Structure 1
Amino acid sequence: MTSVIKGDSVTLHTQQKMMGNDVIQWWFGNKTNLIAVINVTNNGATVNHNYDEKFRDRLTVYTQSGCLNIKNIETEHAGNYGVQSNRMSKNFTVIVRARLPVPVISSNSSNSSSSLSSSSSSSYCSLLCSVVNVSDVTLSWYKGNSLLFSINASDLSISLSLPLEIECLDDSYSCVVAYSFTNQTTHLNTELCHTCSDSVHCCGSTEAVIRLVLSALVGVATVILLVYDIRSRRIKQDRAHIHTSET
């Protein structure tokens, strides 16, 4: 099975080297519907094609290998192909896919009390990745090269969305829509939400806790030094008073 994007080219390989007196026949749909014939002689090879009008000006046949190339392929060219000669016979299935749309990442306002682009009251960034008019695709969220979440669609021409909530936003997140053989990727624009360096509210926990602990330690140390200083002064004053009394 061979998959190809609509408008691209695909080559079907015979995996054979042409030899003298070979007759190679390519067909589409069934063996009676010939689309190309190669006749090999000691003086070279001749090619007859365009038996089927839908393939006019789209076929290239390689006389050295017998391979067939279809350019600017359309959905009407999807289906079963075959090649046969006195030395071999092969079948192919060609699937023509629509060109993948670019995923769109937006703030998921339906899951937050206010717009993420202007709100700093929430500790989470709620995002939504969407594609429209797709079928047989996988929609996924990635952080770097690590897969976070994914969903599959097998229905025809549907819209697909995948939400994501993250506590600390950076530019390593991306949304990917993919066939098994190709994909389209959109990287996250950090302007959709406060980044890690913008606000404690976005990144929340770890950095804020560390800062609070450090502040508390500094405060405790300051109090201890003040108490020690006050006690030291009192001891000095008491010693001075005792020394005066004895004198």
Structure 2
Amino acid sequence: MKNMAHALFGLLYLKLLCDVSSGGVMTYNTDTPDIPAPNIIRDYPPCNEGPQQNCLVMCSVSSVSQAQLSWYNGSAIYSSITVSNLNNKLYLVVHKEDKNNYSCVVSSSGTNSSSYLNVTHLCQICSVVTTTLIPVNEGESVTLPTNLIQLHDGDDIMWFYESTFISEFYENLTIYHDCIDGRFSNILQLDSETGSLTITNLSKKHTGVYKLKSPTGSLINHQQQECQGYNVIVYDPLPVPIITNDSTQCSASLKCVVMCSVNVRDVSLSWYKGSSLLSNISVSDLKSNFLCMEVEFRDPNTYSCVVSNSFTNKTTQLNIKALCREEIQEFKIVVIIGAVGVGVCVIVAVFGVIGCCCYRRRSANPRYNQI
């Protein structure tokens, strides 16, 4: 009798392996429709609990009472529980590279229904096929789409930041997992209709590649373990450039000299005449965050200063009438000439004092008096 039972289970297991996979789970139903196939999903333990190379999976069954739920490794039973209304889940910890054949079996009144665990699909991080670049300013929000209009029953949507799991939607349940220094605490919003992930109040520490994985294969080629990738780059918010006629850091000129400055790094600062670029610099630090320009006092053209990064810009128009009044420039010239004049007088006075001192020393020296 015992050998017959083993033979029956062996035939069941071979049939299980031959069935078509649906994502990370392969299911097999017996002729008895009252026993549904158990669900296998990946679960995540609390942060910093257990080796990172281990994978926690959960097998559960619904609408079943007075049944046995078991994990098998091959044909050998690994663990088992009696199903009740409050106890219908059975966990299994496997290594992400585990090559064993695991199955979860629910048994009741001599009938069985099974699901096969695909460790590769559920536990290994997927490779990104294509990556969409998404630049965004610090403090803003971004939504990473799944390009789905509506999720279907049984769809499993998993989001990763680099190789770390951060969110999942499965069986009408949304899970958030923040194990990276709290940076994703209370800023993740997963749409239960489409599976899209919204990240609010972004900062530079949120820059990185976000990966969308669907073990049920609704979105991507789950057979090849492929992910959708979004490369989110968070930039400093762009300020409006400031234009002044404080040209103390610029070269002196008889024309109107204006200076455009910006208090931000890693941007480009440019002067435009109409739509034509006149000059530009890359601002890498706040010591070289300004750009000077000379214009005629009554220049009729339109000038603007533009600060930009890789995806956006801010512009300030030059008001020549307000900043390039000739009396202001004349005053500057007078100040410059006056400063030069004072400098010359100081030099003459210094040489005069030196000459006086030399003359007195010579007069007081008897050697010079005898000559």
* TM-score range relative to shorter protein: 0.5 to 0.7
In the alignment, structure 1 residue 96 sits paired with structure 2 residue 234: yes
User: What secondary structure, in the 3-state scheme, does the structure 2 residue paired with 1:54 have?
Assistant: coil
Could you tell me whether the CA contact under 8 Å between 1:7 and 1:72 is conserved in 2? yes
Could you tell me whether the CA contact under 8 Å between 2:271 and 2:280 is conserved in 1? yes
- Equivalent residue in structure 2 for 1:193, among 313, 321, 324: 324
Could you tell me whether the CA contact under 8 Å between 2:156 and 2:170 is conserved in 1? yes
Q: How does 1:211-226 map to 2 (within 5 A)?
A: none
What amino acid maps onto 1:34 in structure 2? Answer: F
For residues 75-134 of structure 1, the C-alpha deviation after alignment (integer angstroms, 9 at most, x for no partner) is 221112111103222112111111123212122244225xxxxxxxx3x22222112341
Quote the residue 1:111 is aligned against.
Answer: 251
Paired-residue identity, %: 36
What amino acid maps onto 1:19 in structure 2? Answer: H
User: In structure 2, do the counterparts of structure 1 residues 170 and 70 end up closer, same or farther at CA, with 3 Å as the change threshold?
Assistant: farther
User: In structure 2, do the counterparts of structure 1 residues 179 and 51 end up closer, same or farther at CA, with 3 Å as the change threshold?
Assistant: same
User: In structure 2, do the counterparts of structure 1 residues 125 and 175 end up closer, same or farther at CA, with 3 Å as the change threshold?
Assistant: same
In the alignment, structure 1 residue 59 sits paired with structure 2 residue 199: no
Q: How does 1:161-180 map to 2 (within 5 A)?
A: 161-167=290-296, 168-170=298-300, 172-180=302-310
User: What secondary structure, in the 3-state scheme, does the structure 2 residue paired with 1:55 have?
Assistant: coil
Alpha-carbon distance, 1:39 to partner: 1.0
User: What secondary structure, in the 3-state scheme, does the structure 2 residue paired with 1:132 have?
Assistant: coil
- Equivalent residue in structure 1 for 2:269, among 125, 135, 139: 139
The separation in 2 between residues aligned to 1:58 and 1:185, in whole angstroms, is 31
Could you tell me whether the CA contact under 8 Å between 2:238 and 2:264 is conserved in 1? no
Larger radius of gyration: 2
Alpha-carbon distance, 1:172 to partner: 2.6
- Equivalent residue in structure 2 for 1:14, among 124, 146, 165: 146
User: What secondary structure, in the 3-state scheme, does the structure 1 residue paired with 2:205 have?
Assistant: helix
Which stretches in structure 1 are left out of the alignment for 5+ residues?
Answer: 114-121, 202-247
Alpha-carbon distance, 1:28 to partner: 0.9
Quote the residue 1:27 is aligned against.
Answer: 160
Could you tell me whether the CA contact under 8 Å between 1:132 and 1:159 is conserved in 2? no
The separation in 2 between residues aligned to 1:158 and 1:80, in whole angstroms, is 32
Quote the residue 2:135 is aligned against.
Answer: 3
Quote the residue 2:369 is aligned against.
Answer: none
The separation in 1 between residues aligned to 2:285 and 2:193, in whole angstroms, is 40
Could you tell me whether the CA contact under 8 Å between 1:140 and 1:175 is conserved in 2? yes
The separation in 2 between residues aligned to 1:171 and 1:50, in whole angstroms, is 57
Q: How does 1:62-73 map to 2 (within 5 A)?
A: 62-73=191-202
Could you tell me whether the CA contact under 8 Å between 1:7 and 1:74 is conserved in 2? yes
For residues 225-245 of structure 1, the C-alpha deviation after alignment (integer angstroms, 9 at most, x for no partner) is xxxxxxxxxxxxxxxxxxxxx
User: What secondary structure, in the 3-state scheme, does the structure 1 residue paired with 2:183 have?
Assistant: helix
The separation in 1 between residues aligned to 2:203 and 2:286, in whole angstroms, is 17
The separation in 1 between residues aligned to 2:256 and 2:286, in whole angstroms, is 29
For residues 169-188 of structure 1, the C-alpha deviation after alignment (integer angstroms, 9 at most, x for no partner) is 35832111011222222221
Quote the residue 1:48 is aligned against.
Answer: 175
Could you tell me whether the CA contact under 8 Å between 1:133 and 1:157 is conserved in 2? yes
Higher relative contact order (CA 8 A, sep 6+): 1
Quote the residue 1:83 is aligned against.
Answer: 212
State TM-score, norm by structure 2.
0.44
Could you tell me whether the CA contact under 8 Å between 2:236 and 2:264 is conserved in 1? no
Which stretches in structure 2 are left out of the alignment for 5+ residues?
Answer: 1-132, 221-226, 331-371
**What's the C-alpha RMSD, in Å, of the aligned pairs?**
2.5
Could you tell me whether the CA contact under 8 Å between 1:125 and 1:169 is conserved in 2? no
User: What secondary structure, in the 3-state scheme, does the structure 2 residue paired with 1:111 have?
Assistant: coil
Alpha-carbon distance, 1:56 to partner: 1.7
For residues 200-230 of structure 1, the C-alpha deviation after alignment (integer angstroms, 9 at most, x for no partner) is x9xxxxxxxxxxxxxxxxxxxxxxxxxxxxx
User: In structure 2, do the counterparts of structure 1 residues 61 and 6 end up closer, same or farther at CA, with 3 Å as the change threshold?
Assistant: same
State TM-score, norm by structure 1.
0.65
